[in-house]
Structures are given as C-alpha cells and as structure tokens.
Amino acid sequence: MIKTVLFIGLGSFAGGVARYGVGRLATHVAGHPTTLGTLAANLLGCLLIGLIYGLFDRHGSPGEHWKLFLTVGFCGGFTTFSTFIHENYAGIGEGRFLEMACYAAGSFLLGLVMVHIGHILVK
C-alpha cells in the first residue's frame, strides 16, 4: 500500500510540475496570462492517457505500480481532464451513451455551479 501511494504521489508531483511548465510556456508565448496553458495541458493529457492505455492494450502493463504512476499519478497531476475523457471514451465504447452524456454534461454544469459557489463563499 505504501509503495502504491508513493508511486502515485511521485507521478502526481511530476505531472503537476509538467502542467506548471506548460502554463508558463503558454504565458511566455502569448505574452500575457492565458487559458491556453490549461487547454494545452488538458488536450496533451488526453493524448497521453490515450497513448498510455493504448500501449497497455497492445503490449501489456509494465506492472501495476508503473501503471498507477503514469495514469493516476502523472496524468492525474497533469490534468484530471484526461481521466474524465478516458472514462467517457471507455463508456461510449461499452455502449453506455446516455450514461456518458449525463456524466459529461453533469460534470461540466455542476463544475460551473461549484466554482460559482466557491466564489460566493469566499466573498
């Protein structure tokens, strides 16, 4: 259990640092703070988690700890959006269209509501 948590934590650390780097790079390129860094991290994270799971499907997992390091840890630290998209992708592949539509729409709408509530609570 401790080894698993350490692998996830180290992956999350690396993913968070990478996300920060992408954000800084986007700000530097744009010349001002921008949401492009977040968009880039989310899209790159989606690509990365797709590549990782695709490689696991094709060649097998390098082991549970490394799988958790790369997916839950790194991709989760880099962007939870990648996990969200992969869950939707897998659900659609299983034919659970309505469930995934509700999950996607609900996550987006409830996420907006929660951000709004957070802002209200701080005021």
Separation of CA 88 from chain center? 12
Q: What is the pLDDT of residues 49-73, one digit of tens each?
A: 999 999 998 999 899 999 999 999 9
Share of the chain above pLDDT 70, in %: 100
Q: What is the pLDDT of residues 76-110, one digit of tens each?
A: 999 978 888 988 999 999 999 999 999 999 999 99
Amino acid 119: pLDDT: 82
Q: What is the pLDDT of residues 23-41, one digit of tens each?
A: 999 999 999 888 888 889 9
Domain residue limits, the chain: 2-122
Contact 51, 11 (CB under 8 A): no
